[in-house]
Amino acid sequence: MAQIIGGYFTSHVPAIGGAIVRGDQEEPYWKPFFDGFPPVREWLEAERPDVAVCFYNDHGLNFFLDKMPTFAVGAAHEYRNEDEGWGLPLFKSFAGHPDLSWHIIEQLVGDEFDVTTCQSMLVDHALSIPFELAYPEAQEWPLKLVPIAINTVQYPLPSAKRCLALGRAVHRALVSWQGAEKIVVIGTGGLSHQLDGERAGFVNPDYDRFCMDSLAANPEAICVDSTKEIVRKSGSQGVEILNWIAARGALGAAPARETHRNYHIPISNTAAATMLLETT
Amino acid sequence: MTLAPDTPPPPGDSAPIFGTHLFDGCAAAKGYALNAMCFSFNEAANREAFLADEDAYCQRYGLNSEQLDAVRARNVLAMIEAGGNIYYLAKLAGIFGLNVQDVGAQQTGMSVDEFKAMLLAQGRKAGED
């Protein structure tokens, strides 16, 4: 049966893509952030997962406001990146794992998560940058992808509690999957940041620390708040913590073990964080 | 801890958040044309068409006068007031070579250097805690 090796969580700030292209990893501004990734790379190199189940949010590449799913699961053979409109490099394509995608979809709808299914789906920097950071030398990605997009754009957003439950339903699907793959769960985005409004530039290290401290053993503590309260505490785009919460759910209800953490302010407008959790 | 299925939202949920505009259905409906135009900027040819004749391009997407004025003034807060969503507006800003730090500076009334320094100062403060 399949094995869930653990979870990899990281911010996905677009500017990171530019820094990678320019080779700025050792620049004083960027180094404290990039220094968070050798442990991620070493862990993935040792574990060699075959599939990534990745929770992220689309930033207006695949989804527009004409059709905005709350939860969308990719079931494509291939996921391409395309021009996002503001000069980011074009990122590598991913091979999909449609059989596992449909297995997850069956479980989710069976568990009354009535998700949108996508047999054609572009993926943006929020998905690509975490892989660029984790596999900087890769010519092609060494693992297949099941992307799960969560609406963090247009309110009402799903609650944190609901996202945790979604993740746990994904966990049930992974546990019952009959394949022999090793699976890594990924959550991208956050932590505290705000791009829009007079409060732009807001970050909240205390709240971020609370989220990071809660993630492994008590993610429910983050889920007490409504999405609006999360925005109050972590900023308009800090609400991307929903992706982390869903990914944590996909590791199962048992406590996980935190094996790595890096936290740095600022990367662009963002309090950037990277974590690894292993399942026990 | 476990959460009861009927956990109510916490008190104070309706209180406004300073300087924060939740992009709800009302805003999404109001801003549809503006955001649709910005979404089109995923394609390079559309960015070039906008630069070649900005007013004609805005007219094609049916922007209302509030949205037209906000775009002409390059005023991000006015665009948000007119229903713009930052994820889409960022594509418009990108046409002018502006990133989210430029946009943040404009919205907070700071220079870009001041805005960047404000973020760096928050990092230093967090490091001392």
CATH of residue B54's domain is 1.10.700.10
Residue B2 has pLDDT above 80, yes or no: no
Residues of B in contact with A60 (CB under 8 A): 38-39, 42, 85, 87-88, 91
**Do B58 and B113 reside in the same domain of the chain?**
no
Q: Peptide bond preceding A156: is omega within 30 degrees of 0, i.e. cis?
A: yes
- Is any Cβ of chain A less than 8 angstroms from the Cβ of B117? no
How far does B31 lie from chain A, in Å, by closest CA?
A: 10
CB contact under 8 A, B86 and A236: yes
**Do B56 and B77 reside in the same domain of the chain?**
yes
Name which of B61, B22, B24 is nearest B39 in CA terms. Answer: B61
Percentage of chain A modeled with pLDDT above 70: 100
- Is any Cβ of chain A less than 8 angstroms from the Cβ of B91? yes
Residue B1 has pLDDT above 70, yes or no: no
Residue B9 has pLDDT above 60, yes or no: no
Question: Could you read off the pLDDT of B79-93 as tens digits, one per residue?
Answer: 999 999 999 999 999
φ, ψ for residue A44, nearest 5 deg = -65, -35
**Do B51 and B73 reside in the same domain of the chain?**
yes
Residue A257 has pLDDT above 60, yes or no: yes
Give pLDDT, residue A25.
Answer: 97
**How big is the A-B interface in CB pairs under 8 Å?**
157
How far does B127 lie from chain A, in Å, by closest CA?
A: 9
How large is the average pLDDT for residues B36-51?
97
**Do B63 and B73 reside in the same domain of the chain?**
yes
Active-site position among A59, A97, A103, A193:
A193
CB contact under 8 A, B22 and A231: yes
- Is any Cβ of chain B less than 8 angstroms from the Cβ of A226? yes
CB contact under 8 A, A271 and B126: yes
Reported as a pLDDT band with limits 50, 70 and 90, residue B8 is low
Residue A261 has pLDDT above 60, yes or no: yes
**Do B63 and B50 reside in the same domain of the chain?**
yes
Question: Could you read off the pLDDT of A116-131 as tens digits, one per residue?
Answer: 999 999 999 999 999 9
Helical pair A160-176 and A98-110, crossing angle rounded to 10 deg: 120
Q: Which two tokens stand for residue A194?
A: 């705000």
How large is the average pLDDT for residues A173-186?
97
Q: What is the DSSP letter of A186?
A: E
**Do B84 and B108 reside in the same domain of the chain?**
no
**Do B62 and B26 reside in the same domain of the chain?**
yes
Give pLDDT, residue A87.
Answer: 80
Measured CA to CA, the distance from residue A158 to residue A13 in angstroms comes to 22
- What is the pLDDT of chain B when averaged over all its residues? 92
Mutate to test the interface with B, among A196, A231, A267 (most CBs of B within 10 A): A196
- For residue B38, CA distances in Å to A150, A172, B101 come to 21, 39, 19
Q: Which two tokens stand for residue A117?
A: 């299914």
Known catalytic residue at A193 = yes
Measured CA to CA, the distance from residue A91 to residue B97 in angstroms comes to 20
Find all residues with CB under 8 Å of A13, minimum gap 6, and list them: A129, A267, A268, A269, A270, A272
How large is the average pLDDT for residues A124-139?
97
How far does A36 lie from chain B, in Å, by closest CA?
A: 16
Q: Tell me which of A163-172, B8-17, B59-68 is least confident.
A: B8-17
Give pLDDT, residue B34.
Answer: 98
Residue B24 has pLDDT above 90, yes or no: yes
Give pLDDT, residue A272.
Answer: 98
Residues of B in contact with A86 (CB under 8 A): 90-91, 93-94, 99
Contact between residue A7 and residue A248 where contact means Cβ atoms under 8 Å apart: yes
φ, ψ for residue A167, nearest 5 deg = -60, -40
Q: Which domain holds residue B27?
A: 22-98
Domain ranges across chain A = 3-278
Residue B73 lies in a domain: yes
Residue B7 has pLDDT above 60, yes or no: no
**Do B75 and B85 reside in the same domain of the chain?**
yes
Residue B42 lies in a domain: yes
- Is any Cβ of chain B less than 8 angstroms from the Cβ of A269? yes
**Do B94 and B110 reside in the same domain of the chain?**
no
Instruction: Output b/e per residue, A176-202; b: 16+ Cβ within 10 A.
Output: ebeeebebbbbbbbbbbbbbbbbbbbb
CB contact under 8 A, B87 and A156: no
Question: Could you read off the pLDDT of A203-212 as tens digits, one per residue?
Answer: 999 999 999 9
**Do B94 and B104 reside in the same domain of the chain?**
no
How far does A219 lie from chain B, in Å, by closest CA?
A: 9
How large is the average pLDDT for residues A241-246?
98
Give pLDDT, residue A155.
Answer: 97
Is B93 buried (19+), middle (13-18) or exposed (0-12) by CB count in 10 A? Answer: buried
Active-site position among A125, A171, A260, A264:
A125
Dihedral, CA of residue A272, residue B24, residue A248 and residue A31, to nearest 10: -10
- Sequence length of chain A is 280
Give pLDDT, residue B128.
Answer: 74
What is the complex's ipTM, to 2 decimals?
Answer: 0.95
Instruction: Output b/e per residue, A140-160; b: 16+ Cβ within 10 A.
Output: ebebbbbbbbbbbbbbebbbb
Measured CA to CA, the distance from residue A226 to residue A236 in angstroms comes to 13
CB contact under 8 A, B101 and A198: no
Percentage of chain B modeled with pLDDT above 90: 84
**Do B28 and B90 reside in the same domain of the chain?**
yes
> Considering its fold, how many domains does chain B have in total?
2
The H-assigned helical ranges of A84-177 are 98-110, 125-134, 160-176
3-class secondary-structure state, position B13: coil
Question: Could you read off the pLDDT of A52-111 as tens digits, one per residue?
Answer: 999 999 999 999 999 999 999 999 999 999 999 988 889 999 999 999 999 999 999 999
A 135-154 residues inside an 8 A Cβ radius of B: 153-154
Contact between residue A6 and residue A277 where contact means Cβ atoms under 8 Å apart: yes
**Do B35 and B55 reside in the same domain of the chain?**
yes
Beta bridge partners of A257: A278
Give pLDDT, residue B127.
Answer: 84
pTM above 0.90, yes or no: yes
CATH superfamily of A3-278: LigB-like (3.40.830.10)
